[in-house]
Amino acid sequence: MKKDSEIRVRMAPSPTGFFHLGSARTALYNWLFARHNQGKFILRVEDTDVQRSSKEMIQTILDGLGWLGLNWDEGPYFQSERLAIYKKYVQQLIDKGYAYYCYCRPEDLAREREAALKNKQSWKYDRRCLNLTPEQKKEKERANHPKAVRFLVPDHPVVFYDLIHKEIKRDFADIEDFIILRQNGIPTYNLACAVDDYEMGITHVIRAVEHITNTPKQILLYEALNFSKPEFAHLPLILGEDRKKLSKRHGAVSLMAYKEKGFIPEAMVNFLALLGWSPGNDKEIMSIKEIIQRFSLKRINPANAIFDIQKLEWMNGQYIYRMSDGELLESLKPFLIKFKFITPAELDKKREWILRVCGAIKKRLKVLADIDKAGRYFFVEDFEYEPRALEKHLHKETIEIVKEFSRIMETITDFDGAHIEESLRGFVKEKNIPARNLIHPLRVFTTGKEGGPGLFLTLELIGKERCLKRIKKIIKNYEEKNG
């Protein structure tokens, strides 16, 4: 089933919060490592916190991985379904004297801990339950007192080699006898994680540095349980602009929020891959195949990285720009429908036309949702006229010129870019005015904007009737207001 040399990694998210950029990158690096080494990528949901875990969060994890294309080879396993396995190992630890029952009340300990921290004192469990006399223990048992299980931390330092951070030491005095089994019979993170990583044959534990203080605890469990140890690699964190760990207050909560804004999954993957890792050359836009080929843990930068959305947007724009018109249309469809630019039924009928619109605005989109502002006027009539643009180009003189030219427009039978340009150039030559004096007002009258794709193509795509209607309407409005 499992080859001895096979690389096996896992993504082990907890469904207590959104699947965000940080989790996504951890997943990506695990996935890249597995794919690079022809290994296995396993999905394991760490839902041992019953109160806070939810179906919704599990769904965001699945959605996020799916959106990024990070397919898994095994799982999803759910820790909540593996309780018997953990209990077996906990019992083993108790039997061998590596763990003991703790009858303390969580509230009492929490109070003590808070008080200590408030006084800037460090606090560690004092093993009071380990030191209970046999009589005291019997009494607790007789009273059916709730009990948790604590791991008895041995008095020798823990040293391990991290693939990114090199050697890491931790003194036993700095590790308290941590709980491995709660009063409710459900194991805690460290126990479940260590047991599962062993049981699932994980060869490389790749996770965020916030777990680096857990690793010595898990190593102690490995040793007590006589498990062979995996390799460890602790990834740097992704920080918000405030240099703090990414969290809800940084706006983009779920990874799926980026999908909704119109980021392309390929761009997201490319960007995330480069946030903390570099291929060693100057290439930034890379296909997933290329990233897999070049990926290595050795080239991960140990320093935390600040998330820069501007670079993500740039990269996304690059991906959009490099798409074919057909690909762009596919990606854009949900947005066109969401913004009510078009009905699903029209999508097919107007396909050729939409493809041309896609080609026209491709260079102008950073995220797909930009179509709302940048391309609205192609699709619907309720677009906005930019005040600045009107101020600049909506005047008596320009109106006269546009009026005159629109009469010529009406006579153009083949209303395409080339013909529009031809008649416009002829018109301005005859009038002896610079082309821009007509081009700019014309654009503003028909699109409400100062910028956009080439005017002649724009007019063609909007179509003769709609162009003339818009021109009439804006002029009428102006004249009503200004006598």
Partner RNA sequence: GGCCCCAUCGUCUAGCGGUUAGGACAUCACUCUUUCAAGGUGGAGACACGGGUUCGAUUCCCGUUGGGGCCGCCA
Q: Residues with Cβ < 8 Å from 91, sequence gap 6 or more?
A: none
Question: How buried is residue 92: exposed, middle or buried, by Cβ count under 10 Å (0-12/13-18/19+)?
Answer: middle
**Piece of the chain touching RNA by CB under 7 A; list 130-138, 235-243, 347-355, 392-400:** 235-243
| Burial of residue 348, with CB atoms counted within 10 A of its CB: 0-12 exposed, 13-18 middle, 19 or more buried | exposed
Nearer to RNA, 74 or 174 (CB): 174
Radius of gyration of the chain (CA): 32
Residue 234, phi then psi, degrees to nearest 5 = -105, 115
* Closest CB to RNA among residues 2, 88: 88
The 8-class DSSP code of residue 301 comes to -
Residue 423 binds RNA (CB under 7 A): no
Q: Closest separation between CB of residue 25 and RNA, Å?
A: 10
Interface segment toward RNA; rule CB under 7 A; list 6-14, 34-42, 87-95, 462-470: 6-14
Instruction: Tell whether residue 120 is a contact of RNA (CB under 7 A).
Output: yes
Residues within window 178-197 making contact with RNA, judged by CB under 7 A: 178-179, 182-184, 188-190, 193
Answer for the pair 286, 93: CB distance below 8 angstroms, yes or no: no
Q: Which of 36, 137, 140, 165 binds RNA (CB under 7 A)?
A: 165
CB of 46 to RNA, least distance (A): 3
Q: Should residue 83 be labelled a site residue for RNA when binding is judged by CB under 7 A?
A: no
Residues 6+ away with beta carbon under 8 Å from 476: none
Query: Which among 6, 15, 16, 18 is positioned nearest to 42, based on CA atoms?
Result: 6
Considering only 63, 223, 284, 327, the residue that binds RNA (CB under 7 A) is: 284
- Residue 424 · residue 473 · CB < 8 Å: no
Within positions 452 to 481, which residues make up the interface with RNA, using CB under 7 A?
452-457
Comparing CB distances to RNA, the nearer of 52 and 403 is 52
Tell me what percent of the chain is helix, strand and coil, each rounded to the nearest 5.
55, 10, 35
CB-neighbour burial class of residue 261 (10 A; exposed 0-12, middle 13-18, buried 19+): middle
> Any contact of residue 274 with RNA (CB under 7 A)?
yes
Which H or E element spans position 310? helix 309-322
d(CA 451, CA 443): 8
Q: Which of 58, 205, 237, 401 binds RNA (CB under 7 A)?
A: 237
**DSSP-derived secondary structure for 285-298:** S--HHHHHHH--GG
- Options 28-36, 59-67, 205-213, 401-409: segment touching RNA (CB under 7 A): 205-213
Q: Does 253 bind RNA (CB under 7 A)?
A: no
Cβ 444 to RNA, closest distance in Å? 10
User: Residues 49, 14: contact at Cβ < 8 Å?
Assistant: yes
Stretch that binds RNA, among 31-39, 109-117, 218-226, 472-480 (CB under 7 A): 109-117
Strand order in the sheet with 148-151: 99-102, 148-151, 179-181
Q: Does 20 bind RNA (CB under 7 A)?
A: no
The answer to whether residue 443 forms part of the interface with RNA (CB under 7 A) is: yes
Query: Least distance from C-beta 349 to RNA, angstroms?
Result: 28
Q: Which of residues 122-151 bind RNA (CB under 7 A)?
A: 122-125, 146, 148
Judged by CB under 7 A, the chain residues 206 through 225 that form the site for RNA are: 209-214
Q: Where are the beta strands (DSSP E) in 241-376?
A: 305-306
Q: Tell whether residue 418 is a contact of RNA (CB under 7 A).
A: no
Please state the closest distance from residue 210 (CB atom) to RNA, in A. Answer: 4
What x-and-dash track marks residues 383-402 binding RNA by CB under 7 A? --------------------
26 binds RNA (CB under 7 A): no
Q: Is 306 in the site for RNA (CB under 7 A)?
A: yes
350 has catalytic annotation: no
At closest approach, how far in Å is the CB of 157 from RNA?
9
Which listed residue (205, 255, 275, 367) binds RNA by CB under 7 A?
Answer: 275
**Does residue 109 bind RNA (CB under 7 A)?**
yes
- The number of residues that bind RNA (CB under 7 A) is 89
Closest distance to RNA from the beta carbon of 192 (Å): 7
| Residues present in the chain in total | 483
The residue within the footprint of RNA, chosen from 78, 172, 227, 314 (CB under 7 A), is 314
Q: Report, in Å, the least distance between residue 315 CB and RNA.
A: 7
User: Alpha helix (H) ranges present in 14-68?
Assistant: 21-36, 55-68
User: Which of the residues 88, 138, 248, 373 is marked catalytic?
Assistant: 248
Check whether the bond before 279 is cis (ω within 30° of 0).
Answer: no
Measure the CA–CA gap between 404 and 217, rounded to whole angstroms.
Answer: 82
Q: Is 245 near RNA (CB under 7 A)?
A: yes
- Positions marked catalytic: 248
